[in-house]
Structure 1
Amino acid sequence: MSDVQAKSKTHGDLIRVRRPGHGMPGELFGRQDVFETDVDIFFHKHWILVGVTSDVPEPGDVSTVDIGKASIIIVRDDDENIRTYRNVCRHRGARLKEAGKSTVGMLVCPYHQWTYDLDGSLRHAAHMGKDFDPTCRSLIPVKTKVVGTHVFVCLDENAPEDVSKLEETMVPRFAPYDLPNTKIAFEQEIIENGNWKLVMENNRECYHCAATHPELTASFLPEDFGICADSLSEESLREFEEYTARNAACQASWERDGFVGGAVEWLGENAVTQFRTQRLVIAGNGESQTMDTKVASIKLLGNLQRRDLGDTHLWTHNSWTHVMSDHAVIAYIIPLAPDKTLVRTKWLVHADAVEGVDYNVSDLTAVWTATNMQDKHLVEITHEGTQDPAYQPGIFSQFTETYVEQFSRWYAARLNAHGV
């Protein structure tokens, strides 16, 4: 296909010509018009993860997140509720806060000093006259769901209702960890020079893990996400049988102690708020995603006494989460350009855990800081390749890339639902 032919195809045309079981056309990763439509549909009209409750631990704490042309303010109010608002002054539209975190008594517009309470109400607007009614000038609220510690928002008035499935599934799974009673031990921001869909595709498969993620595979078992038995040696087959037996034994043990672990998938073309969860077995000592597979923090989450609770993972279309007995790793993405994606990762520990006593940051973060940088490289070389004139979408492994194929189908279905 020539450059002229490619540019003449619409966003919808490009996804509809994708062959089942194959990657997406390169134009879907590189074109500006495709990127802008993606942001509008997948980040402004769907539920997305934008932070955690410990981003704003105290009343007056603010976290501002930019998403395309939109910007939101996450704030903890005086009653300790999480509230979110559009970052737009109701006077002449100035941004109230720059991206990042801060602490305020009230939200004051830097332009004309219109002043808003933490509940969003307009408290002060000078020189507006006696007929001015401040009650209809409150900050614009954003639809918000707090699930565990996860702060999900939808910028559209017609927010997808099936977020209730995610909420109903994850609230009891997160409950034993008491995630609202955590603090951020470490944060990392990476800008990956690749399209957001490639970031998520990379996260949806572990075909690449054994060769590229030595730190992760010390604790993470790629078998959980597919394996082709045809290519295994007799020794590898025995190891897989051992893995299967261990997995079954762990799941039974967790169930006996009341820890839910079975896989729940809301991923198909009929799903809007896409998610997957499962309690995964951890290799080695079986305690945590650390280099020695033991807990990194001796102060466990919640009131837990048991260390070997596996990894409660959660996928959404812009995030991934791993919750162990001692800490949680929560990451989400924000697209910045066709070839740039911001990846934010937060490591959470018990709110009372003391650095240097209960945990060391280096032990806590070693696995995922390394994995994130390795994934950054993989995404970047893949994005570069998809923009090469020689690129032709390749075939997926039916054993290890089934979730990548599923993501492609879901992406196409959501575009179609919005008339693209």
Structure 2
Amino acid sequence: MLDRVSPTITSLLNARLQGHSLPAGLYTREDVFEADIDVFFRKHWICVGLECDVPEPGDATVIDIGASSLILLRDDDGAIRVMHNVCRHRGSRLLDAGTTIVSRLVCPYHQWTYELSGELVYAPHMGLDFDKECRSLKQIAFRSIGGLIYVCLSDEPPADINRLEEVMSKRLAPYEVGNAKVAHQCDVIEHGNWKLTLENNRECYHCSANHPELCVSFVDLDFGFDPESLSPEDKAQAEEHLALYAERTASWEREGYPSEAVEQLVDCATNFRTQRLIISGAGESQTPDATAACSKLLGTMTRKDLGDTHLWGHNSWKHFMGDHAVVSIVIPLSAGKTLVRTKWLVHKDAVEGIDYDLDKLTSVWLATTEQDADLVSRSQAGVADPAYVPGPYSPFSETNLEKFATWYVDRMRANGY
């Protein structure tokens, strides 16, 4: 928690009306941003990367979260490690931002040297009686869930991560995410608060008007609609789609592929939702024509007709299909600026130009991410306007936004705000 709880934050939380968006200050104030980092990015589990970000021993990548810098690496035994990027001498950063390959971690300042396990092995000019054993790099609590790396910077990580692990380990197993390959990565800076980024992702009310590329394969009806506003023809189509969903989900479940929606969105610390979604059109993948982008399927997958296993968290969203996966990670940079880091995964042996075309693989979500960045920027400008008043959520298409806002306020209060 911050040294002093701002009464402004408490009053803003108290002012939030059920069924409505958050008060402006919760999106725009720097003191709220600092509180958000403290509560949601230090004391809760967050997704920061993938096992396949560091496929070989010595591979390392740095992830910055607020003032904290993390090293994700694979050690000499092939095990994943997550450590603070802080030398135990005088605090210097060990590695610069980005990815690298190291045999040992050597501090550039005074050459204190650490094994990839974090153990201090060399500290020059510290005297014969200097105890290196208590100067290892500080380890960070982490879980690899189906190859997704979740960390918690708190000394008391929430225990309900167990539910996420229980649900997703089986669902993700056939995709072998930890043994995949990152075919492409794209970093986009959205000029908006991280909560606006998450809210935008948690509804498809805006999809048909803003995401023509995504809507080739994505069904916006999946996330709610007002049946009374539909024409008789559209209503019949929606009912037919819901019937198909029930039939397809039951079939997938019978064949051993967990598909039912599982939600842990309120009254919890670790926030997530997962479901196997139908892919529209050709039904294979989120590509310009909804056919598979990669001929070599992920992991042990043998079918292209198993839909899209989606997973939300409070700082990420992911889509796992037979031929590839898309993983997006959200990292707040300031009250009005957010990094969205998107990675496209393919089978580890897939070769660009032979097994997949990079443009076909990436074009849908590259376009969607840019479109969303524009929408988030517009939202940030709007909530910063003195004329902004929190508006009502759609009871049909924005129910997940209501749950997110409720969870956000509850977790802030649980941490003393």
Do Structure 1 and Structure 2 share a fold, with TM-score over 0.5? yes
The C-alpha deviation readout for 1:289-322, integer Å capped at 9, x for no partner, is 1111111001001122111110000000000000
Q: Which residue of 2 aligns with 1:5?
A: none
CA–CA separation in structure 2 for the residues paired with 1:252 and 1:28? 41
CA–CA separation in structure 1 for the residues paired with 2:238 and 2:149? 37
Q: Which residue of 1 aligns with 2:154?
A: 156
Cα deviation for residue 276 of structure 1 reads 0.4
Letter in 1 for 2:245: N
Q: Which residue of 1 aligns with 2:177?
A: 179
CA–CA separation in structure 1 for the residues paired with 2:7 and 2:31? 11
Indicate the percent of aligned positions where both proteins have the same amino acid: 55
Letter in 2 for 1:141: Q
CA–CA separation in structure 2 for the residues paired with 1:336 and 1:305? 40
Aligned length: 412
What secondary structure is seen at the aligned counterpart in 2 of 1:400? Answer: coil
Letter in 2 for 1:11: I
Letter in 1 for 2:226: C
CA–CA separation in structure 1 for the residues paired with 2:394 and 2:243? 25
TM-score by length of 1: 0.97
Q: Which residue of 1 aligns with 2:211?
A: 213
What secondary structure is seen at the aligned counterpart in 2 of 1:331? Answer: strand
Q: Which residue of 1 aligns with 2:321?
A: 324
Q: Which residue of 2 aligns with 1:279?
A: 276
Letter in 2 for 1:351: K
TM-score by length of 2: 0.98
CA–CA separation in structure 2 for the residues paired with 1:363 and 1:149? 24
Q: Which residue of 2 aligns with 1:100?
A: 98
1:385 counterpart = 2:382: yes
Contact 2:52/2:177 (<8 A) preserved: no
Aligned pair partner of 2:228 in 220, 223, 230: 230
Cα deviation for residue 9 of structure 1 reads 5.3
Q: Which residue of 2 aligns with 1:91?
A: 89
Letter in 1 for 2:326: V
Q: Which residue of 2 aligns with 1:349?
A: 346
Q: Which residue of 1 aligns with 2:126?
A: 128
The C-alpha deviation readout for 1:244-264, integer Å capped at 9, x for no partner, is 122122212212221110000
Letter in 1 for 2:135: R
What secondary structure is seen at the aligned counterpart in 2 of 1:126? Answer: coil
Range with bigger deviation, 177-186 or 378-387: 177-186
Aligned pair partner of 2:52 in 45, 51, 54: 54
Q: Which residue of 2 aligns with 1:4?
A: none
CA–CA separation in structure 1 for the residues paired with 2:7 and 2:203? 29
Q: Which residue of 2 aligns with 1:366?
A: 363
1:200 counterpart = 2:198: yes
- RMSD between aligned alpha carbons? 0.9
CA–CA separation in structure 1 for the residues paired with 2:255 and 2:63? 39
What secondary structure is seen at the aligned counterpart in 2 of 1:174? Answer: helix
What secondary structure is seen at the aligned counterpart in 2 of 1:173? Answer: helix
Q: Which residue of 1 aligns with 2:3?
A: none
What secondary structure is seen at the aligned counterpart in 2 of 1:10? Answer: helix
CA–CA separation in structure 1 for the residues paired with 2:387 and 2:375? 19
CA–CA separation in structure 2 for the residues paired with 1:9 and 1:47? 26
Contact 2:84/2:140 (<8 A) preserved: yes
Cα deviation for residue 12 of structure 1 reads 1.6
Letter in 2 for 1:378: L
Q: Which residue of 1 aligns with 2:42?
A: 44
CA–CA separation in structure 2 for the residues paired with 1:79 and 1:238? 58
Contact 2:329/2:341 (<8 A) preserved: yes
Cα deviation for residue 228 of structure 1 reads 0.6
Letter in 1 for 2:311: L
